[in-house]
Each structure stands twice: as C-alpha cells, then as structure tokens.
C-alpha cells in the first residue's frame, strides 16, 4: 500500500477540530449512481435538514445538466434551433466554463459537445446500439466540436450553433461533488467527505485528527500496488475501462478509445476538474497523457495494458505526494 499525502495541511482544520463530534453518514441516489456524505456533525446541526438540503441541491443540478432528462436545460439546448442563445444559471455556466477550459488545454481530448456521438455508440440514454457505420460517425463527428460553442461568461449566455449536443457526463458528477461540499460549508460543516459514483472530495479532517482516507480504484487482476490518498482539501476522480468496460469516446476521432489505458486517476483541488481531466488523460493515454499531466502539474496515475503487460505512469506531482 502506497500512501499519498496532501502537499500542504491547513492549520485551521486542526484549530477547529472537536474530537467529541460524531461522524454522520448520509446516502442516496443521483445521476444514475449513488451519493454518500460523511461529516463531523456540529451539536446544533440536524442531519435530516442537511440530507434534505443535499437532495434539493442534487435535484437542481440534474434538472439543469442531465443528458438523460429530456426536460433538463441541457436537453433544451441540445434541441434548440441554430443561432439560439440560452441564458444559463450559475451552476450550468460554471460547468461550461470549466469544460471549455479543459477542452482547450487538452486540445480536444475532453470535449463536452459529443452528445450525439455518445448516443450513437450506445453509451447514452437510448441504451445499447448496433456498431455504427463509419459514414454516420464521420457526419456526427463533423457536427461536434467545442470550438463551435459561443459562450459569454459575463452574461452566462450559450449559443447553439446548430445540431450540436452537449454531454456533460465527464464532468457533472465531479462538479456535483464540489457543489455538495460547498453547500455543507454554508451550513457550518467544514469537515466532510463527499462521494458521487466514485468521484470524491475531502474537506478538513476527521474528528480524530485523521484525514479522509480513500483508496482509488486499482484495476482488478493486476499487480499494481494499491494507492491510498489522504483527501485533505483535495478531490480525486478515476476514469477508464477496467471496471465499466469500453465507454469512453475519443472526441478527436469520434470512435471509442483503444489505446490500452485501463485506469486514470487525477487528484485536484476541485472534483469537477479532476473528473474532466481524468477523461482527457484516458483519451490521450500513456506517455503523452503523462506529459500533459506534468505540463499542468496534475497529480496523476495512468495505468495501461498492452499484450497482457500492465504499466503504471505516475506524474511528478503525484510522486511528490507519496510518503517516503
């Protein structure tokens, strides 16, 4: 077991620590998966009130950005005629801004505009589909492209160029993790672990003084040494095909990723960023993905398998976190 520690520890977390506080666990369903929240519960806080607030927050995010909900604002955008501008609420606008930033930084390895390709390959709401013909893929690929989006951050307006469909599945869960942790902070809860479908963030520390320990997914059947993270003011997301099978498209080609990457883990201050970067680095793969992670100072682990041989790549930022 390898231990990765945060590059810095916030002294205020220990200053406010109360070892007598209980850890409360809440959980439920959202975004087609499960959510879980652990937090040091102040004596004056009602967990049921917190649970209702979390559910309300998550329901609102789904109503805005779900690719699966035909009544969502995202679906409205996807069905809008060419040239229409939509005014986005703050959450949606924040996600779009982050998505476009990472799309540009990854040279399109992450692209939020491939919704129609996702559906065509059977990874979206329509469910499993026959393998599409090359011409159909080429047509939808030509219609996609993050560069086609016109987004005005100041006014939070987004323009539908025509026939373009957003799919924010590669960032929405992570962003929702951040949103829930931020919500808890407004309720006076600063020491918590939030998880949605394997994307996590840890704020503060546990009442016993320990960080929030989490073990990122290690592909089964490999000899890769497990990794344990101390999530203190950090988030982590993992992408890849080891558990779920093929489900990642390369936005640059319109076809499923076939580069041997079976797992990519990214540690970042924000879970939304970690989520999108994990997708981008999975698409890029191997040494090229490691080089991009190094360029952007991302703590990253990429695991690939070729001809039965499993190789692990660790970025300098992650190596620096490993306990000697």
Q: 26: pLDDT confidence band, cut at 50, 70 and 90?
A: very high
Question: pLDDT (tens digit, 9 = 90+) per residue, 54-101?
Answer: 999 999 999 999 988 989 999 999 999 999 999 999 999 999 999 999
Per-residue pLDDT at 240 exceeds 90: no
Known binding-site positions: 170, 275, 279
Q: Once rounded to an integer, what is the mean pLDDT over residues 254-281?
A: 96
Q: What angle do CA 258, 263, 266 make, to 5 degrees?
A: 125
Q: Which stretches does DSSP call E strand in the chain?
A: 2-4, 23-30, 33-40, 85-87, 150-152, 157-159, 192-196, 199-203, 212-214, 227-231, 234-239, 249-250, 255-256, 261-268, 299-306, 309-314
Question: Span 291-318, mean pLDDT?
Answer: 95
Q: Indicate the range of 19-28, 117-126, 139-148, 268-277 predicted with least confidence.
A: 117-126
pLDDT (0 to 100) of residue 242? 52
Average pLDDT on 294-305 reads 96
- Report how far residue 99's alpha carbon sits from residue 80's, in angstroms, rounded to the nearest whole number: 20
Looking at residue 246, its pLDDT comes to: 60
From CA 286, how far away is CA 220, in angstroms rounded? 19
Contact 176, 30 (CB under 8 A): yes
> How sure is the predictor about 124, in pLDDT bands with cuts at 50, 70 and 90?
confident
CATH T-level topology, domain 73-169: T-fold (1.10.3980)
Binding residues for Mg(2+): 170, 275, 279
Instruction: Give the residue among 43, 67, 150, 102 at the shortest CA–CA distance from 278.
Output: 102
In the prediction, which pLDDT does 250 show? 95
For the residues 285-295, what does the mean pLDDT come to?
95
Confidence category of residue 1, pLDDT binned at 50, 70, 90: confident
> For residue 241, what pLDDT is reported?
66
Distances (CA, A) of 110 to 10, 172, 242, 253: 32, 13, 19, 12
pLDDT class of 244 with cuts at 50, 70, 90: low
* Domain parsing of the chain, residue ranges: 73-169
Q: Is 83 left (phi over 0), alpha (psi -120 to 50) or beta?
A: left
What pLDDT was estimated at residue 13? 86
Mean pLDDT to the nearest integer, 185-213? 96
The chain-wide mean pLDDT, for the chain, equals: 94
- Over 60: is that where the pLDDT of 245 sits? no
**What is the pTM (predicted TM-score) of this model?**
0.94
pLDDT in tens, 143-198: 999 999 999 999 999 999 999 999 999 999 999 999 999 999 999 999 999 999 99
């Amino acid at each position: 077991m390898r231990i990765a520690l945060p590059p810095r520890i916030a002294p205020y977390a220990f200053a406010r620590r109360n070892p007598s506080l209980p850890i409360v666990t809440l959980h439920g369903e959202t975004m087609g998966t499960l959510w879980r929240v652990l937090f040091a519960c102040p004596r004056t806080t009602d967990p049921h009130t917190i649970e209702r607030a979390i559910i309300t927050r998550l329901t609102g995010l789904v109503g805005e950005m779900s690719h699966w909900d035909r009544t969502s604002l995202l679906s409205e955008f996807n069905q809008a005629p060419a040239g229409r501008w939509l005014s986005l609420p703050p959450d949606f606008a924040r996600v779009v801004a982050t998505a476009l930033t990472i799309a540009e930084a990854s040279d399109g390895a992450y692209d939020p505009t491939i919704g129609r390709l996702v559906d065509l390959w059977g990874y979206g709401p329509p469910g499993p589909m026959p393998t599409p013909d090359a011409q159909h893929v080429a047509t939808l690929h030509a219609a996609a492209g993050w560069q086609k989006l016109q987004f005005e951050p100041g006014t939070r307006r987004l323009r539908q160029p025509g026939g373009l469909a957003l799919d924010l599945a590669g960032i929405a869960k992570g962003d929702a993790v951040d949103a829930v942790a931020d919500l808890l902070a407004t309720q006076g809860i600063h020491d918590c672990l939030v998880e949605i479908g394997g994307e996590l963030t840890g704020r503060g520390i546990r009442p016993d003084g320990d960080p929030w320990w989490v073990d990122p997914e290690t592909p089964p059947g490999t000899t890769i040494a497990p990794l344990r993270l101390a999530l203190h003011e950090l988030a982590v997301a993992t992408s890849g095909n080891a558990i779920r099978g093929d489900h990642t498209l390369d936005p640059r080609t319109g076809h499923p990723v076939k580069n041997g990457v079976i797992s990519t883990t990214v540690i970042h201050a924000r879970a939304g960023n970690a989520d999108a970067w994990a997708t981008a680095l999975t698409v890029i793969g191997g040494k090229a993905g490691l080089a991009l992670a190094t360029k952007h100072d991302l703590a990253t682990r990429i695991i690939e398998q070729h001809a039965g041989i499993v190789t692990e790549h660790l970025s300098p930022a992650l190596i620096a976190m490993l306990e000697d």
